[in-house]
Each structure stands twice: as C-alpha cells, then as structure tokens.
Amino acid sequence: MSLRIATNGCFDLLHPGHRYLLDYCAKLAGSQGQLLILLDTDESITELKGKGRPVQTQKERRDSVVDWYENYYLSSDCTLEKFCIKFFDNDYELLKAFQEFKPHIIVKGSDRPDVRTIVGSGEFPVLIVPRLYDEDGLVYSTTRLIEGDG
C-alpha cells in the first residue's frame, strides 16, 4: 500500500533525529508512495527560534534534505512515486500546502505532543513519532549541536 505522507519543520543542521523522522516518513509512505516535506523559511525560523537561527540557509537546508533522500534510496529498495520539498512562511501557508497535497497522515516528532496544536490536525490524521536519543540518553536536537553538546 502506498500513502501520501507529509511532515514539516525547520530541519536546521540535519542530525540523526531528523534523519530518523524522515526515514520513518519514507517507510510509512511505502513503495510508490508520496512524501511532502515542508520546510520553514529562514524568516519564519528566526521568528520561531530567535536571533542566530537558522544556522543554515533555506538552500542549505533543502540541499541537506535532498542529500538525505538520495542517500536513503541508494541504500533502500523502496522508491517513492513523488518526493517534494516546499517552503512555508506561516501557519496559513502550511495548512494550504497540506490541503493541496491531502496527506493520508501528517507525521510529527514527539516534541509536539499535543496533537491539537499541530497545523492541519483538524483535517488530517496526525502521527506522533518518538524522538531519537543518543547513547547518553539525550535527545538529538539542533540546539544541542549549536551549544556543542551533541
């Protein structure tokens, strides 16, 4: 069975936690499925995370996700019918992208445990994926990477 799966986020300094979430989305989509990855614009990340963020530009973040996709499928027998990356500035644009794509499932990390606060949750099912922890039991995060603690 192939599904239309959507996820969104900053994906700044792509780390193992991000790759885990993206791998999960791709596997859930299944062979010949569709995957939509929506990335926050630089402006929306600065508004969300504060001065000094994002660390990488939109182009660098998009290129990191494309590299993940190419590497994932070089080592996998699964192929997607459609893989798409789009940028969004605000919740309105994010919801519009979901409405146009009509995902079977929106996938989010467990840093967003209240499904009701997730854009699109009123129209589409949301699946919360547990976060990935390192060997020290600490969650992978861009903030930890920036602070030199991961």
Tell me, what's the pLDDT at 78? 64
The pLDDT score that the predictor gives to residue 117 is 86
CA distance 68 to 52: 24
Structural tokens at position 84: 């798409």
Structural domain boundaries, residue 104 = 4-146
Q: What is the pLDDT, as a whole number, of residue 77?
A: 65
- Res 126: pLDDT: 96
Q: What is the pLDDT of residue 70?
A: 87
Give buried/exposed letters for 34-53 (b at 16+ CB in 10 A, else e): bbbbbbbbbebbeeebeeeb
| pLDDT computed for residue 37 by the predictor | 96
Running along the chain, 150 residues long, what does each successive block of 10 average in pLDDT? 92 93 93 93 93 94 93 72 91 96 95 83 95 85 74
CATH code: domain of residue 81: 3.40.50.620
Q: What is the pTM of this model?
A: 0.90
pLDDT of residue 120: 95
The number of distinct structural domains making up the chain is 1
